[in-house]
Each structure stands twice: as C-alpha cells, then as structure tokens.
Structure 1
Amino acid sequence: MKYVKVDWDPELHGFRTDARDYVAALPELKDELPEGARAFAADAGHYDYASDRCVKDLELADITLPTTTMAGPGTAVVAYRPNRWKHTAGLRVEYTGVTHFSVDYEASIDWMEAITVLLDEVLPHEDGIEHRTELTDATITVRCADLTATWVSLP
C-alpha cells in the first residue's frame, strides 16, 4: 500500500497497523475518488479502531468474482462478517466496472480462527479506483470504476 502501513512485528507476535499517513493525505485524494469510494474512505469511523464502523478486524466471509460480459467489465462483491467483540454489523463491498481482481494468498498465520482485515486503502486510478485490503493471510486488490460499501447484518 502507498500510505497505510501493515507490518508483522516478531517481538509483538502480531501486526502493527498505521493509517495516519493515509488519513492525512485523504483530503487531497478524495476529490479524485468517485462518489462511493469517497464516501467509504472518508467515513469518520473507517480508521477509528474504537468505532464499530472501522474495517480493522472484520472477518472475510465471501467473495463473488467478477464476470465480464459483452457489455463490459463486471461486478464483484466481497463480504465481511462482524468481529463479535467489535462490530454490530458486517460489511458488503460491491465493485462495479471491475478491470482487475486478485487475491494474493499465503497461509502463514496458523493461530487465527478467521482471515481478518488488518487495514485497507482506496486510491484514485485510471480505471476509477484501486482498493487494496490487507488481510492476515492475504491481500485483495481491486481496480474498478467505483465501489459501494454497505454495513449489513449477516446471518
């Protein structure tokens, strides 16, 4: 990621996360983001670890891969379950006009019950945006026209 820092700390036996550089850059970046991405990235609770609207610690629940049709790029969805100790709702992120979708997965954390969000970053891109989400065992990268993030109750 360009601004957000996510690093494994062997002494801590855990991850160090820091979104302060991204939050500081966001006022300049947000005018270049489409409406849905701007609303999601600039939400007051997004990087507030004490907020139930913070993405940190959400648990990966489901991925629906994009399909491209003759009409053009497709839609992808990533759903996250709430962390029972922190969140009151899960998060559903729908990506429209997807031109790139990848999951870089490396099973390395064997003490976690779920793959959880460490932090994410939304940046302007020639396709619209690039949304990168760092998870405990993977990185999801999506380039698309825009995204819609909805906090929802999940079963």
Structure 2
Amino acid sequence: MEIEFQHNCWKHDQDLLIRYTGVSGFVVVPEDENRVTELGTVLLDEVLPHRDGCSHEIACWEGTLTVVCVDLRASWTAATCSSRS
C-alpha cells in the first residue's frame, strides 16, 4: 500500500511517498464523509509499536488516517515550486 502527500511550497519543495508492507489495518475518519480522500494539511504523525508491527497515525485538518503494518518506508521526491507560490 502507498500513500502520497503532495508538497506545500510554503513549507516543502518535495512530495512524500510512504510505502507500507504487511498492512493489516487501514482506517480513515474524515470530518466530512463526502471528502474521504481530501484530509487536508497534515498536523502531526506518529509511528507507534503495535502487535502486528507498527501503527502510523496521521492527524490532518479534515480527518485522521491510521495504517497498521509490518513496516513502512518513506521517500521524498522532487516537486516543482514556482517563485509565485
């Protein structure tokens, strides 16, 4: 399973891709049930121990996302930010 977070030129000039292996749980709790894939800006994230490996909890302005997995790998990829952003 993969989740991609797009950059915000005010804060980052790269996108973040997280690859999860051995996923045993996935929960999205949106503030608005009509916008499940649009959780907004990430406020915080935390990787915690779990009996299945780890739990990655991500809190956003518009909801939360939790992935339970054996392991995860994060990588940053270049994004284009214009000078007007």
TM-score, normalization by structure 2: 0.81
Residue deviations 1:124-154, cap 9 Å, x none?
1110000000011111100000000000124
Aligned to 1:97: 22
SS in structure 1 of the partner of residue 4 of structure 2:
strand
How do residues 56-135 of structure 1 correspond to structure 2 at under 5 angstroms? Answer: 76-107=1-32, 115-135=40-60
Residue equivalent to 2:35: none
Structure 1 runs of 4+ off > 2 angstroms? none
What SS is found at the alignment partner of 1:122? strand
Higher relative contact order (CA 8 A, sep 6+): 2
Alignment root-mean-square deviation, CA: 1.4
Unaligned stretches of 5+ in structure 1? 1-75, 108-113
Alpha-carbon deviations, 1:104-139, whole Å to 9, x = none? 1113xxxxxx71100001011110000000011111
Partner of 2:61: 136
CA radius of gyration, larger in: 1
Unaligned runs of 5+ in 2: 33-38, 81-85
Normalising by structure 1, we get a TM-score of: 0.46
